[in-house]
Amino acid sequence: MNGVISKGLYRWPSLTSRAPSYRTTGRKSHSPPLLTQPTAYCARLASLGACRNSGTPSQEAFRESHSHWSSNLCRSCCARPHTHCQTPHAGSAREFADAKDDLSAAAAYCVAQDGEVENRAPYFNTNDDPKNWFRLSGFRKFCQFTLKRDGSRIHVLLSTLYTQQPSLAALAYYAKVPFDGNCNGNPGSCYCSQLGGTDLFGGINLNGGGWVLKGAIDEVLEACIFPDMSSIDSWGLAYHQANIIRGKNLAKVLRYPNPYAAKQ
C-alpha cells in the first residue's frame, strides 16, 4: 500500500471498513486578531451593502467603546440623514428560502449521479455503547457514493456537492495536499485537521462523535467540516491525497470544477 497512507502508528482501515474516531494528539489553532480599526470596519460594512448610500460612512459613533459596536452597528455606519440603513445579519428570508430550494435540487442531483441521500444527526460519545450516545441538535444531508467494484464509499454534504461556487472542502479534495503525518492516532482525522477542518466532537478525547445514520454501513461518519461549513468525509479526503478513490471520483460530480486541473 502507498507509503503515504501507512505513515504513523495508527493502522489505516481497508477501503470498506469503519474506523474509530480516537485521536491522541492534535493541532493548536490560532484565532485571527480582532479588527481594531473602526474606519476600516465601517468602510467594509459599506462595501458589503450595510449602508445604502454613496457617501463616506460617518465615524462619529465609533467614539463609543468597542463593546457597543453590535448594538450601534446600524447607527454607526449609517449616520448620514436620509440614508436607508440595513442591519447586517446571517441571512435574509429570501436567502434561506433559496437555500431550501437548492437543497431539494441538490438531493435530486445526488440521485441523478448514482448517489444516495442520507439524513444524518450529530452525536457525541459514539465510542461508548450506543445506548449511551448523546444526540445533539440539528441534522445534515449528505450524498453517499459507493464504488461497485470494491464497495468503498465517500460522503459529501449536499450543499458542497451542488454548489457551483468554490468551497473549502472541494478545494481540499482537488488540491491533494500531502499528508504530513505529524499527528498520532486516526490519520483521517489528523489529515482533516491538517487541512484546517475538523471532525472532532468536543476536541481530542476518548468519547468520540460523528454524524450518525443508525443501521448504515458507515453508522458514525467522520465528516471533515470546514469554516465555510462545507464538508467531505475525512477518509475520502485522506485517501484521495494518496491517489486512491473511495466511492467515486468527486471531480466528476462536484459542480464546482477543479481549479488546479491544468497544473496537475
- Residue that has been written with the C-alpha cell 471520483 in this structure: 249
pTM over 0.75: no
Q: What is the DSSP string of 161-176?
A: HH-SS--HHHHHHHH-
Q: Digits of tens for pLDDT over the chain (264 positions)? A: 444 444 443 445 555 555 555 454 444 444 333 333 444 434 443 444 433 333 433 333 323 333 333 334 334 334 444 334 344 444 444 444 444 456 899 999 999 999 999 999 999 999 999 999 999 999 999 999 999 999 999 999 999 999 999 999 999 999 999 999 888 889 999 999 999 999 999 888 888 999 999 999 999 999 999 999 999 999 999 999 999 999 999 999 999 999 998 765
Rg (CA), the chain: 22
How is the chain split into domains, by residue range? Answer: 49-85, 93-252
Instruction: Calculate helix-pair angle for 168-175, 234-241, nearest 10 degrees.
Output: 30
- Report how far apart, in Å, the C-alpha atoms of 103 and of each of 93, 97, 112, 125, 130 are: 15, 10, 14, 29, 30
